[in-house]
């Protein structure tokens, strides 16, 4: 057999093998595509898990903020125990931050990093020897100023995921803020 004939024979065998493989793959690909449907229940579970992750992160940040806002009114004898509690809340915030990083988009991750940085700055600023003051700082001002941008980014991310998944935003889902 000469070279051109051998080449054509090899090409014919390869084409026939490719056609046979395509015939075998095509039905299974159609079946797999048919099995994949937009599963609203599964997405609902994912949405609820993300919402809980974001809410837990914000709650940990709020615990740190509450303790920092009440720090001026805390008696000096109770401050070491409160400082230990605040550091424990900060550790919990770091653990929840890792969960947020795994299950969110860039805007949420940036907002979460800002919350963690602010909480670290606030905890580092606590002074055991500062004189107690009679006035309490407004808690809601400290809370909303710290976590509200994060919660807004979470809501936008969740709505964008709903639009990407379903083509429309899921409005009946619970809002974070």
Each residue's pLDDT tens digit, 89-116? 999 999 999 999 988 889 999 999 999 9
- Cβ distance 176 to 59 under 8 Å? no
Q: Which of 62-66, 72-76, 83-87, 97-101 has the lowest mean pLDDT?
A: 72-76
The average confidence (pLDDT) of the chain is 77
Q: Which of 5-14, 123-132, 137-146 has the lowest mean pLDDT?
A: 137-146
DSSP state of 72: G
For the chain, what percent of residues have pLDDT higher than 90? 25
pLDDT of residue 36: 45
DSSP state of 39: -
pLDDT of residue 73: 81
Interval 31-54 mean pLDDT: 72
pLDDT of residue 48: 87
Helices (H), 36-138: 40-70, 79-102, 106-124
Return the sign of the alpha-carbon dihedral for residues 61, 65, 71, 73. negative
Choose between 34 and 107: higher pLDDT.
107
- Cβ distance 150 to 112 under 8 Å? yes
End-to-end CA distance of the chain: 78
CA gap 122, 40 in Å, rounded: 41
- Enter the tokens of residue 103: 């299950």
Q: Phi and psi at residue 68, in whole multiples of 5°?
A: -70, -40
CA gap 43, 60 in Å, rounded: 26
Interval 57-83 mean pLDDT: 87
Interval 59-67 mean pLDDT: 88
* Helix, strand, or coil (residue 76): coil
CA gap 118, 125 in Å, rounded: 11
pLDDT of residue 22: 64
């Amino acid at each position: 057999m000469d070279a051109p004939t051998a080449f054509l024979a090899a090409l014919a065998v390869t084409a026939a093998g490719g056609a046979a493989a395509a015939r075998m793959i095509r039905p299974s690909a159609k079946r797999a595509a048919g099995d994949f449907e937009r599963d609203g229940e599964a997405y609902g579970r994912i949405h609820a898990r993300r919402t809980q992750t974001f809410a837990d992160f914000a709650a940990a940040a709020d615990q740190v903020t509450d303790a920092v806002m009440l720090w001026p009114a805390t008696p000096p004898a109770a401050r070491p125990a409160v400082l230990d509690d605040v550091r424990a809340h900060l550790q919990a915030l770091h653990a929840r931050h890792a969960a947020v990083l795994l299950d969110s988009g860039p805007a949420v991750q940036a907002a979460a990093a800002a919350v963690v940085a602010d909480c670290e700055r606030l905890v580092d600023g606590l002074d055991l020897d500062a004189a107690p003051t009679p006035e309490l700082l407004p808690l809601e001002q400290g809370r909303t100023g710290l976590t509200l941008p994060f919660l807004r980014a979470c809501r936008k991310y969740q709505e964008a995921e709903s639009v990407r998944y379903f083509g429309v935003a899921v409005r009946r889902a619970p809002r974070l803020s």
